[in-house]
Amino acid sequence: MTAVAQAPTPVRRAHTGKVTQGRVIKSEWIKFRTLRSSRWSLIAGVGAMIAIALLFSLAMKSHYPHMSQARQKEVDPVADPMRGVFLGQLAVGVLGVMMITGEYTTGMIRASLSAAPKRLPVLWAKALVFTVVAWTIMTATAFVCFFLAQSIFSSIHIDKSISDPGVLRAVFGEGLYLTVVGLLGVALGAIIRSTAGAIAALFGILLVLPVLGEVLNLTSWGDHVNPYLPSNAGQQVMALTTTSPDMKPWPGFFLFVGYAVVAMAAAAILLKRRDA
Amino acid sequence: MIEARSLTKRYGDKTAVSDLSFTVRPGIVTGFLGPNGAGKSTTMRMILGLDRPSSGAVTVNGKAYAEHAAPLHEVGALLEAKAIHTGRSAYNHLLALAATTGIERSRVDEVIDLVGLRDVAKKRAGGFSLGMGQRLGIASALLGDPDTLILDEPVNGLDPEGILWIRNLLKALAAEGRTVFVSSHLMSEMALTAEHLIVIGQGKLIADTSVAEFISRASTGSVKVRTPDAAKLRELLAGPDVTVSSSVEGTLQVEGLTSDRIGTVAAENRITLFELAPHEASLEEAFMELTGDAVEYRAPAQKTSAGADAGASAAADSAADVEVNA
Ligand SMILES: Nc1ncnc2c1ncn2[C@@H]1O[C@H](COP(=O)(O)OP(=O)(O)OP(=O)(O)O)[C@@H](O)[C@H]1O
Ligand SMILES: [Mg+2]
């Protein structure tokens, strides 16, 4: 080791690429597309949504002629085939959570944060990659479900056109709602860092809160609280007929986005502050 | 160059690293030693900005790690716990890391070949053996061709060939002028690889020394004497700075006198000697002695002294050569 005797000159390398937000996004995109589990949860979500849409509309087609007039009036040809959204949100929510917790449980997060030590670019990149993928696929699925269902409904003449009032917004809204559900999952994943904990928190908020809210309905409090619960507010955008007089579609959706933004801000602060 | 200044890390009321200051210089391999729980991994995570120091600071080439515009080119790290998503292939893992800083695909192929993972590069990292995971970690560390390498127990899980490979790799990297900081539990391994040592125990600095100095300081200079006249010799050797102990009948362990002196005393008094063996402590012993008070996690029955005795008999053979020359 004779080289050691002289004062060594630091090595200067050919590659000196800076870390940029764009590069971190590219890295997150590579990470996303190279995990089989992310593909599977999307496929499961899409499959479930389409299956439910088909199931509902085919069942409707065969039963509709035998229904009472009162029952026939209750049929909502846009919302009914959209019931799959409840399964879709499970898939997309889990995917959002796993985007982050998958890295914490495997230790990958330390590699990610060493590569991008400013940290926040990693969160933004994950959120962006997730948003683009989830929104594209979920919106496409929503339209597929809609048109499949209406083509089945056309034989019983209850089909709606996409140009009917509110229909485009509702179908479009389904993709938007699901995307924000997933983003809430991303944020909760970053806050809680364990898969089970974050999934429990996400579906506690989306599914359990509204049930508890119904208890409040027995009191005068119900009307003041229920419309503002995250999923109640968020789902207004995909409803053709507003289920809540106090919450219009877009304000409801933006309130839901607001919850996700707050969660994402909390995630960002914690990511920056905590030990990895 | 890594510079730690009064680095302290507390987890709740547990102080993992306490007021630690040291400098790791370029051009040599610096070993980072300490018993389990000494705070080596914690220190390394703080260097990488993964854990935030409770107080104090650490810089790499003059800047906090996070302040570097191209951190992967500045510092390559292998952390203790695998930092790899188990569902992704080794190749894609490296590709994703490379993308953050614009490293080309060809470099990914290069490091995969370098660590010998070509055959399994497209397989899920979750199925990797300990040694393969370690090689992938080393590939990630080398990806950006960094000036500084921080490796937490890199030989952990490697086969003998792998250990030799990493030893030579580290030396070669240092010889190119890079800063190489390697943690280990094994003093003997570090003696072969490192030129400088930073030893910590219970989060505190115990020694910051060259390996050569450590070895010479470690020599306790005790001499083993076997004689049929043990009791008589013991009396003759007694003196203010001399300790003589005997655990086996007819054998003395003398500290504070050279073997020359003992031999002379014996000859002057016509005492027969069967054996006169100066004994230098093995590195492992010296290390355990140094960190003895700082050992945090220890099996209840096995005190450090017991461990040292076991090492002593093994070391005695190698010490025999020294004796002949003297
Ligand atoms: N995240 C943490 N939370 C709480 N305590 C921690 C954490 N990380 C480390 N410690 C504690 O800090 C001390 C130092 O741990 P560290 O892992 O740095 O030791 P080490 O020298 O790397 O040990 P080993 O040789 O076993 O790898 C230990 O007592 C450990 O329990
Ligand atoms: Mg450790």
Residue B211 or B28, more confident: B28
Cα–chain center distance at A214:
24
C-beta atoms of B102 and A17 within 8 A:
yes
Is pLDDT above 50 for B303? no
Cβ distance A182 to A134 under 8 Å? yes
Mutate to test the pocket of ligand 1, among B14, B202, B297 (most ligand atoms within 8 A of CB): B14
Average pLDDT for residues B129-147, to the nearest whole number?
93
Cα of A119 to nearest chain B Cα, Å: 9
**Per-residue confidence (pLDDT) for residue B222, from 0 to 100:** 80
pLDDT range class, residue B294, cuts 50, 70, 90: low
CATH fold for domain B2-216? Rossmann fold (3.40.50)
**Per-residue confidence (pLDDT) for residue B307, from 0 to 100:** 39
Q: A115 alpha carbon to ligand 2 midpoint, in Å?
A: 21
Alpha-carbon distance B151 to B181, whole Å? 6
pLDDT range class, residue B321, cuts 50, 70, 90: very low
Q: Which residues of B touch A28 (CB under 8 A)?
A: 96
Cα of A229 to nearest chain B Cα, Å: 35
Identity of the amino acid at A145: C
ipTM of the complex model = 0.89
Domain residue limits, chain B: 2-216, 220-321
| Ligand 1, pocket residues at CB < 6 Å | B 11, 14, 16, 34, 36-42, 80, 185
Cα–chain center distance at A169:
17
**Per-residue confidence (pLDDT) for residue B243, from 0 to 100:** 85
Cβ distance A172 to A83 under 8 Å? no
Chain B residue with minimal CA distance to A39? B87
B221: helix, coil or strand?
coil
Q: B40 alpha carbon to ligand 2 midpoint, in Å?
A: 5
A151: its two tokens: 């083509």
Cβ distance A234 to A256 under 8 Å? yes
**Per-residue confidence (pLDDT) for residue A5, from 0 to 100:** 42
Identity of the amino acid at B127: G
**Where do runs of H (alpha helix) occur along chain B?**
40-47, 71-74, 90-99, 105-115, 130-142, 160-175, 187-193, 211-218, 230-237, 259-268, 283-291, 304-325
Q: What confidence tens digit (pLDDT) does each residue in B15-33 have? A: 999 999 999 999 999 999 9
**Per-residue confidence (pLDDT) for residue B139, from 0 to 100:** 95
Cβ distance A238 to A244 under 8 Å? no
Domain residue limits, chain A: 22-273
Alpha-carbon distance B115 to B181, whole Å? 19
**Per-residue confidence (pLDDT) for residue B305, from 0 to 100:** 42
Q: What confidence tens digit (pLDDT) does each residue in A192-217 have? A: 999 999 999 999 999 999 999 888 88
Strand ranges across the sheet with B222-226: B243-245, B251-255, B222-226, B275-279
**Per-residue confidence (pLDDT) for residue A198, from 0 to 100:** 97
Output phi, psi for A16, to 5 deg: -135, 35
Query: In whole numbers, what is the pLDDT of chain A averaged over residues?
Result: 90
Q: Which residues, in sequence order, are CB contacts of B31 under 8 Å at separation 6+? A: B182, B183, B184, B190, B193, B194, B196, B197, B198, B211
Token pair 């439910």 is found at A52
Cβ distance A127 to A183 under 8 Å? yes
**Per-residue confidence (pLDDT) for residue A13, from 0 to 100:** 52
pLDDT range class, residue A52, cuts 50, 70, 90: very high
Q: What confidence tens digit (pLDDT) does each residue in A160-182 have? A: 889 888 899 999 999 999 999 99
HSE-CB of B114 using CA atoms within 13 angstroms = 18
Q: B194 alpha carbon to ligand 1 midpoint, in Å?
A: 23
Cβ distance B52 to B46 under 8 Å? yes
**Nearest by CB to B101, which of A7, A11, A17?**
A17
Q: Which residues of B touch A13 (CB under 8 A)?
A: 73, 144-147
Cβ distance A159 to A55 under 8 Å? no
Chain A contact present for B79, CB below 8 A: yes
Output phi, psi for B79, to 5 deg: -95, 165
Alpha-carbon distance A90 to A182, whole Å? 9
Chain B contact present for A107, CB below 8 A: yes
HSE-CB of B220 using CA atoms within 13 angstroms = 24
